[in-house]
A and B are shown apart, each in its own frame.
Chain A
Amino acid sequence: MSHTAYFFQQFINALSLGSIYALVTIGLAMVFSILRLINFAHGDLMMIGSYSILMLWNAGVPVWMAILAGIVLCGIAGVIMERVCYRPLRGSAEMTTLLTSFAVVVLLENGVTLLFGPNTRPFRILNFTSPTFSIDSILISKIDVISVVLTLIILLLTTLFIKKTTIGISMRAVADDLTASHLVGIRLNRVIVSAFFIGSLFAGVAGLLWSARAGKLYPLMGFIPVVKAFVAAVIGGFGSIPGAVVGGYVLGFAEVFLVALLPPELQGYRDAFVFILLIFILLVRPQGILGAKTMQRRI
């Protein structure tokens, strides 16, 4: 394979991986911008989505129906999570809700382990990873195309939603100034539930893509992506939705090209390099690429 072809191959990998990171990070950022809650259980929503899809499919539901239903279930799971775990703690310290999110992680991961067992299961419902076409020795698999196209569509729709609809404007308003949003009578619960629902739908899509890419799923599968999304959110600027997208893609590219450029004996340390990047950004530009300088206390 020529150097150029190799570069393009990696470029496509990075684009595909970055898209999934962007999807996960948007959900994390949406909730954070409104509640100042870093919901580490967001990754487990991906897991719930993937399990739902697989279980429905195993039960004989047609594949596209299973995917759609799984993603919607994921959205509902997010809304329930807010109602049961986070709403009772509204107004408490950020540290409290952060720790609660870890409790939710433990609860969900162990719950699913109890229900379905700790084993890794194959996830090959659409044969997503098979190469569909190749250009000049560059292999492009279905999952790459689907990841990138789906993410771009979702980004476009999200932008329109946030910019144009009243709920979108309310979300930005609450994120901007909580006091003022009380003042003009915005129903906070509706905005928060919307953010959880939309973010969880995206987590469902990301879960599908993540499991399809890996060809497998397991109860702890949400951990790595949510930590990566956390890094991506820090890179982009925590709480900023455009920042989430930028951060997701920057992280995708950084990861893929690190592996491509590192000598083989260091490639196994890919995640270590990602976290070194995180520490570096936190030291040099803690507000991220697109983040605001200050971060006031919330709710």
Chain B
Amino acid sequence: MNADFLLKIDALSVSFGGVKALENYKLSLPPSRILGIIGPNGAGKTTLFNVLTGFIRPDSGHIHFNGQEITRWEPYQIARLGISRSFQNICLFGKLSVLDNVIVSCQIHERTSFLSALSKTRAYKKNEKALREKAWKLLCVFGLEKHADRRAMTLAYGDQRRLEIARALATAPKLLIIDEPAAGMNPNETQDLLDLILKLKEKFNLTIVLIEHNMNLVMQLCEYIQVLNYGRLAAEGLPLEIQQNQEVIDAYLGDTNNAGSN
């Protein structure tokens, strides 16, 4: 296991019935990079994210994160180790307040016991207060503090997406996985999102893996790109290489002049 890589995946395969969703996928991702994963719908991108975060068990292959094999771990264990994600279709606690959504994620590294919660020891209370402040600060980074007491499901769509990223960051991840963050956003919002992701990467020292259909965003943001097609790696390389790869253009990008328009 090479310690230079934060995330290393070897020969990963997943199939659903007869359909091979991922076949012999591999990745070596050094820390502090932004990796983009593109490909047509059904190419296996979201399956890859689900395997990475423990929601789907792979048929074969190995995943190492931060020097540890995490291949068959439970989602909560993986979250605790430092992989956090946002969903393509937003997955918030809709009935909880915006602040509670973040608090509940902040607390995963706390070691408070149930008995201390019942007995309300001083240390416990202090801890609760610290959590609350930490969650509040995170909301401020995203400009969501004015909505702190609203139920998450009443937020505007863009705010829900940002809350989802805020909540993902509350677990203090090393690796942030973002599934189609720009879906349904207009060009202005997309530009804001791009700035936000870059800001977060610096501020929280993150490594980021991103699925996105908006080629403009992917090409501007990502340092390295993988193209998936029918569960296989069709190509990988620097953004410029991908843009000039004839196979990729035929299969996915289409006419490069229109590539950013979607």
Q: Does A169 lie at the interface of the complex (its beta carbon under 8 Å from any beta carbon of B)?
A: yes
Q: Which chain A residues (169-194) contact chain B, with CB distance < 8 Å? A: 169-170, 172-173, 176-177, 179-188, 190, 193-194
Beyond A172-B93, A177-B92, A183-B85, is A166–B131 a contact (Cβ under 8 Å)?
A: yes
Whether the Cβ atoms of A185 and B96 lie closer than 8 Å is no
Which listed residue, A164, A173, A185, touches B93 by the CB 8 Å rule?
Answer: A173
Which listed residue, A165, A173, A185, A194, touches B128 by the CB 8 Å rule?
Answer: A165
Q: Does B91 lie at the interface of the complex (its beta carbon under 8 Å from any beta carbon of A)?
A: yes
Q: Does B207 lie at the interface of the complex (its beta carbon under 8 Å from any beta carbon of A)?
A: no
Q: Does A256 lie at the interface of the complex (its beta carbon under 8 Å from any beta carbon of B)?
A: no
Beyond A172-B100, A184-B170, A185-B80, is A190–B128 a contact (Cβ under 8 Å)?
A: no
Give complex CA distance A283, B76 in Å.
40
Which listed residue, B101, B110, B114, touches A197 by the CB 8 Å rule?
Answer: B114
Closest to A165 in B: B117
Hey, which chain B residues are within 8 Å of A197, CB to CB?
114
Hey, which chain A residues are within 8 Å of B128, CB to CB?
164-166
Q: Does A167 lie at the interface of the complex (its beta carbon under 8 Å from any beta carbon of B)?
A: yes
Give complex CA distance A194, B92 in Å.
23
Whether the Cβ atoms of A170 and B91 lie closer than 8 Å is no
Beyond A172-B100, A185-B80, is A166–B110 a contact (Cβ under 8 Å)?
A: yes
Closest to A201 in B: B118
Give complex CA distance A194, B114 in Å.
7
Closest to A170 in B: B104
Closest chain A CB from B135 CB (angstroms): 10
Give complex CA distance A183, B164 in Å.
11
Hey, which chain A residues are within 8 Å of B117, CB to CB?
161, 165-167
Q: Which of B94, B100, B128 has the most CB of A within 10 A?
A: B100
Whether the Cβ atoms of A182 and B96 lie closer than 8 Å is no
Closest to B75 in A: A182
Whether the Cβ atoms of B104 and A166 lie closer than 8 Å is yes
Give complex CA distance A183, B108 in Å.
11
Give complex CA distance A185, B169 in Å.
12
Closest chain B CB from A233 CB (angstroms): 18
Closest chain A CB from B99 CB (angstroms): 9
Hey, which chain B residues are within 8 Å of A187, CB to CB?
76, 108
Hey, which chain B residues are within 8 Å of A188, CB to CB?
76
Provide the B190-217 mask, 1 if CB < 8 A to any CB of A, else 0. 0000000000000000000000000000
- Count: A-B pairs, CB below 8 Å: 87
Give complex CA distance A262, B127 in Å.
56
Give complex CA distance A167, B115 in Å.
11
Closest to A188 in B: B76
Q: Does B107 lie at the interface of the complex (its beta carbon under 8 Å from any beta carbon of A)?
A: yes
Closest chain B CB from A102 CB (angstroms): 29
Whether the Cβ atoms of A185 and B105 lie closer than 8 Å is yes
Whether the Cβ atoms of B92 and A180 lie closer than 8 Å is yes
Hey, which chain A residues are within 8 Å of B100, CB to CB?
169, 172-173
Hey, which chain A residues are within 8 Å of B53, CB to CB?
183
Whether the Cβ atoms of A184 and B103 lie closer than 8 Å is no
Closest to A184 in B: B105
Of the four ranges (under 10, 10 to 19, 20 to 34, 35 or more), the interface on chain B belongs to 35 or more
Closest to A163 in B: B100
Hey, which chain A residues are within 8 Å of B114, CB to CB?
167, 190, 193-194, 197
Q: Does B167 lie at the interface of the complex (its beta carbon under 8 Å from any beta carbon of A)?
A: yes
Give complex CA distance A172, B100 in Å.
10
Hey, which chain B residues are within 8 Å of A177, CB to CB?
91-94
Q: Which chain A residues (217-256) contact chain B, with CB distance < 8 Å? A: none
Whether the Cβ atoms of B92 and A184 lie closer than 8 Å is no
Give complex CA distance A185, B171 in Å.
8
Give complex CA distance A222, B80 in Å.
41
Whether the Cβ atoms of B93 and A180 lie closer than 8 Å is yes
Give complex CA distance A172, B110 in Å.
18
Closest chain A CB from B6 CB (angstroms): 18
Closest chain A CB from B163 CB (angstroms): 11
Give complex CA distance A176, B79 in Å.
19
Whether the Cβ atoms of A180 and B91 lie closer than 8 Å is yes
Q: Does B68 lie at the interface of the complex (its beta carbon under 8 Å from any beta carbon of A)?
A: no
Hey, which chain A residues are within 8 Å of B75, CB to CB?
182-183, 185
Q: Does B126 lie at the interface of the complex (its beta carbon under 8 Å from any beta carbon of A)?
A: no
Provide the B71-110 mask, 1 if CB < 8 A to any CB of A, else 0. 0001111011000110100011111100011011101101
Q: Which chain B residues (39-91) contact chain A, with CB distance < 8 Å? A: 53-55, 74-77, 79-80, 84-85, 87, 91
Whether the Cβ atoms of A186 and B108 lie closer than 8 Å is yes
Give complex CA distance A188, B77 in Å.
11
Closest to B105 in A: A184
Closest chain A CB from B173 CB (angstroms): 10
Closest chain A CB from B229 CB (angstroms): 27
Give A residues with C-beta under 8 Å from B: 161, 164-167, 169-170, 172-173, 176-177, 179-188, 190, 193-194, 197
Top 7 closest pairs, chain A to chain B, by CB: A185-B79, A185-B108, A182-B75, A184-B105, A166-B107, A176-B93, A185-B76
Interface CB pairs A-B, < 8 A, 21: A165-B117, A166-B110, A166-B112, A166-B131, A169-B104, A172-B96, A173-B104, A176-B94, A176-B95, A177-B91, A177-B92, A177-B94, A180-B93, A181-B93, A183-B75, A183-B87, A184-B79, A184-B84, A184-B170, A187-B108, A188-B76
